[in-house]
Amino acid sequence: MAQIIDGKSIASEIRAGLKEDVTRLLQSGHRRPGLAVILVGENPASQAYVGSKVKACEEIGFYSSSDRLSADVPEEVLLNRIKDLNSDPLIDGILVQMPLPGHISEKKVIETIDYRKDVDGFHPVNAGKLVIGEPCFAPCTPAGILVLLEKSGNLPSGKHVVVVGRSNIVGKPVANLLIQKTRSANATVTICHTGTQNLSRFTRQADILIAAAGKPESITADMIQDGAVLIDVGINRVPDPNSKTGYRLTGDIDFAGCEPKCAAITPVPGGVGPMTIAMLMKNTFLSATGKIFY
């Protein structure tokens, strides 16, 4: 039986720890850490993510502000709002929920956020610092994956990790984190993408496989080696006539097929997903306490 890596429980431990940290911080006379969340438009998935982030702030004891802007908001208005938040002394972290409507440049939005408040870790300054191994805000999902590996007793040091996907928010940063010469990383990393020929030739060599392609159940049992550790980042909605909503959530890994063959696996939902918000909260706390940039 494979170890099922319970991201929900690891994430709630982290959130409980942060709640205690906030209590101590307030007792020492510090103000509450503050997170500003901006949502543009009415994408239901984005609304749900923003709602969960605001709820997490309340639970941990952070101050939060949330702006809900209409889908046709001019880019200039959004950029000016970010600039106001950059200079707001009550705000330590700024998060603009992606994706944005087509008339708004995601690149401009990310680059307008002060990198010292970029708790999503997407600003080029943070991305660059991550590569050269300097203190920075690491993107939340990749940072969460490293914590999951460590807390589940599957340290990547000395292991061959194969990452499927090279996006700027998951694939590249998780690979960059994993090659750092640190206790929780220190892995040998291969990155695969749509230009990779014969994907399974690489995935079969993985001691740890990180699937982040956004392709439902595309990693099958014949593509992994016995005893591999499988981290499923994918969150895919697939039609399901038996479900009330008409769809179900599934990962990039065929869980039922791979579970008997692997040593450990993250479920979807309840694996990597909950770690993302926990790490966002952690980055906001680190920002408030000047632990990264001061």
Q: By CB under 6 A, what part of segment 77-116 binds ligand NDP?
A: none
Supply the DSSP string of 86-97, one letter for each residue.
HT-TT-SEEEEP
Q: Which of 4, 79, 155, 199 is in the footprint of ligand NDP by CB under 6 A? A: 199
Angstrom distance (rounded) from CA 238 to CA 216: 8
| Contact letters for ligand NDP, residues 230-249 (x by CB under 6 A) | ---xxxx-------------
Binding status of residue 14 toward ligand NDP by CB under 6 A:
no
Angstrom distance (rounded) from CA 277 to CA 11: 8
Beta-strand relationship, 247-250 and 3-4: unpaired
Please confirm, yes or no, whether 181 is among the known catalytic residues. Answer: no
Binding status of residue 196 toward ligand NDP by CB under 6 A:
yes
Angstrom distance (rounded) from CA 218 to CA 200: 11
Please confirm, yes or no, whether 6 is among the known catalytic residues. Answer: no
Binding status of residue 52 toward ligand NDP by CB under 6 A:
no
Binding status of residue 28 toward ligand NDP by CB under 6 A:
no
Angstrom distance (rounded) from CA 31 to CA 33: 6
**Closer residue to ligand NDP (CB): 46 or 196:** 196
Angstrom distance (rounded) from CA 68 to CA 66: 7
Q: Which residue has the tokens 């409980």?
A: 16
Residue count at the site for ligand NDP (CB under 6 A)? Answer: 25
Q: Using CB under 6 A as the criterion, which residues of the chain lie in contact with ligand NDP when the complex forms?
A: 141, 164-167, 169-171, 192-196, 199, 212-215, 233-236, 272-273, 276
Active site residues per annotation? 53, 97, 120
